[in-house]
């Protein structure tokens, strides 16, 4: 198990380096500069600014310095939010993004698995069919459509919940963003659970267990559920990544002070260190999620443990 984790971590280093490399050079080859404001700067100020942030050095040197900083946990200064380092900005935005992301992931997993189980009770019955149709609808609904529509119905028309905003993390402000983020992933999890169970229930070891007089919930819980959840677990890593990306939209729609908003703003303003910092962080998070999914997979399936 430790070997597996270690190998995974080693294998993720090239991926992370590739992300840093790609985003670094993409940003630098782009036209425009972080200091293009409302009016053009005079050339001297411009040169001074470039020198202050090291932008006048050869690009390879800049990249090397960035990597060195990164290795020490230093993401560099923000070029647009002048008095902040990227690390400061990440620490303000990350808790918000992580909170809604984690809540959505938990809800999607719990809800999806429960719905998948309920649908399996009577395969191809009316409950199964209608639930699965609903789940397909959910997976097909983009968050940027469900988000505004949820806000329209529950905030504007019914007035039960606030339209947008953070409200210092008060629970009522979280309901709509988390719900909009949860629904598509929940649909996918439910469908995977249902498909996994349907496939496992036809297998020999299930029939053998039935021969031993095990049936109903005990059969599913003891013999079917764990192998049936394997595809769900494989999906959980990419799903977590998808939730992080989806959070960008949700944060825009519901005006939440998360990382996604900093990212979009940073990209538009050419705030190189900020954009790079967010991309690198997210890549690292995705690697971490996939690692957790692998470990869970090993727990569910002894064959992987070897």
Partner 1 sequence: MTAVLDYRNVTVAIEGRKVVQNLNLAIAPSECVALVGESGSGKSQSWMAPFGLSPGVAGGEAYLCGEPVIGADAASLSALRARHAGFVFQQPLTSLSPHLNIAAHLTEAFCQAGAALPDQDTLIAALVDVGIDRPAERLRQFPHRLSGGQRQRVMIAMALAHRPALLIADEPTTALDATLRREVMDLLNRLCRDRGMAMLLISHDLASVASIADRIIIMRQGDMIETGPSDQILSQPTSDYGRELLAATPRLTDPIPVRPVIGAALLAAQDIAVSFPMPGWRRPHLQAVADASLMVHEGEAVAIVGGSGSGKSTLARAIARLGPCDAGEVTWRGLPLPPRAKMQAHDRAGFQPVFQDPVASLDPRWRVADIIAEPAHHLGRGASRQFVLSIMAECGLDANLADRRPHELSGGQAQRVAIARALITDPAMLILDEATSALDVLVAGRILDLLRRLQRERRLAMLMITHDLAVARQLCHRVIVMDQGRIIEQGDTEMLIRAPHTDISRALIAASQ
Partner 2 sequence: MSRVLNALPAMLVLLILAAAWLLPPFLPWDYRIIDWDHVSSPALTPGHLLGTDSVGRDLLSRTLIGTRITTMVAIAAASVSLLIGTLWGALAGWCGGRIDNVMMRIVDALYALPFMFVVILLMVVFGRSILLVFIGIGAVEWLTMARVVRGQMLALRQRPFILAAEAAGASPRFIIFRHALPNMAAVILAYLLLTVPQVVMVESFLSFLGLGVQEPMTSLGILVKEGADDMDVFPMALLVPGGVLVTLVISLTLLGERLRDRWAA
Which residues contribute to the site for partner 2 (CB under 8 A)? 11-12, 14-15, 18-19, 22-23, 26-27, 29-30, 136-137, 139-142, 144-145, 147-149, 151-152, 156, 238, 241, 244-245, 248-249, 252-253, 263-264, 267-268, 275, 278-279, 282-283, 286-287, 290
**Shortest reach from residue 188's CB to partner 1, in Å:** 23
Which residue in the set 191, 223, 261, 270 belongs to the binding site for partner 1 (CB under 8 A)?
A: 223
DSSP H/E element including 282: helix 272-300
Spatial separation of the C-alpha atoms in residues 166 and 269, rounded to whole Å: 24
What does 229 interact with, of partner 2, partner 1, none (CB < 5 to 8 A by kind)? none
Q: Is the CB of residue 27 less than 8 Å from the CB of residue 275?
A: yes
Spatial separation of the C-alpha atoms in residues 275 and 263, rounded to whole Å: 6
Which residue in the set 94, 195, 209, 292 belongs to the binding site for partner 1 (CB under 8 A)?
A: 209
Total of residues contacting partner 1 (CB under 8 A): 23
Q: Is the CB of residue 76 less than 8 Å from the CB of residue 85?
A: yes
What does 300 interact with, of partner 1, partner 2, none (CB < 5 to 8 A by kind)? partner 1
Which residue in the set 16, 141, 214, 291 belongs to the binding site for partner 1 (CB under 8 A)?
A: 214
Spatial separation of the C-alpha atoms in residues 88 and 83, rounded to whole Å: 10
**Closer of 11 and 61 to partner 2 (Cβ):** 11
Tally of CB atoms within 10 A around 69: 14
CA distances from 234 to 51, 215, 284 (A): 47, 28, 18
| Among the residue ranges 149-157, 186-194, 207-215, 254-262, the one whose residues contact partner 1 (CB under 8 A) | 207-215
Residue 303 binding partner 1, by CB under 8 A = yes
**Could you tell me how many residues make up the chain?**
306
Spatial separation of the C-alpha atoms in residues 182 and 175, rounded to whole Å: 10
Q: Is the CB of residue 131 less than 8 Å from the CB of residue 121?
A: no
Interacting residues with partner 1 (CB under 8 A): 3, 7, 203-205, 207-215, 222-223, 226-227, 300-303, 306
């Amino acid at each position: 198990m430790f070997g597996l984790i270690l190998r995974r971590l080693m294998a993720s280093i090239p991926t992370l380096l590739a992300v840093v490399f790609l985003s670094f050079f993409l940003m630098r080859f782009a036209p425009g500069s972080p200091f293009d404001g409302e009016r053009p700067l005079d050339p001297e100020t411009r040169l001074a600014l470039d020198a202050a942030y090291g932008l006048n050095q050869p690009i390879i040197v800049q990249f090397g310095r960035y990597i060195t900083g990164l290795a020490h946990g230093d993401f560099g200064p923000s070029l647009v939010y002048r008095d902040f380092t990227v690390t400061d900005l990440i620490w303000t935005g990350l808790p918000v993004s992580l909170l809604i992301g984690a809540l959505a992931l938990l809800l999607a997993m719990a809800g999806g698995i429960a719905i998948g189980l309920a649908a399996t009770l009577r395969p191809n019955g009316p409950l199964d069919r209608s639930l699965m149709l609903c789940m397909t609808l959910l997976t097909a609904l983009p968050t940027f459509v469900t988000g505004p529509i949820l806000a329209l119905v529950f905030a504007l028309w019914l007035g039960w919940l606030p339209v947008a905003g953070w409200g210092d993390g008060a629970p009522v402000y979280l309901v709509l963003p988390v719900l909009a983020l949860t629904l598509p992933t929940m649909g996918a999890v439910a469908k995977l659970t249902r498909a996994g169970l349907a496939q496992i229930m036809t297998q020999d070891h299930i029939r053998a267990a039935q021969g031993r007089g095990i049936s109903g919930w005990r059969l599913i819980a003891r013999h079917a559920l764990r192998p049936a959840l394997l595809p769900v677990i494989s999906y959980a890593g990419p799903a977590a990544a998808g939730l992080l990306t989806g959070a960008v939209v949700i944060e825009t729609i519901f005006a939440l002070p998360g990382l996604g908003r900093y990212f979009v703003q940073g990209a538009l303003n050419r705030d190189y260190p900020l954009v790079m910092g967010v991309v690198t962080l997210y890549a690292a998070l995705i690697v971490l999620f996939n690692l957790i999914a692998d470990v869970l997979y090993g727990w569910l399936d002894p064959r992987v443990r070897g």
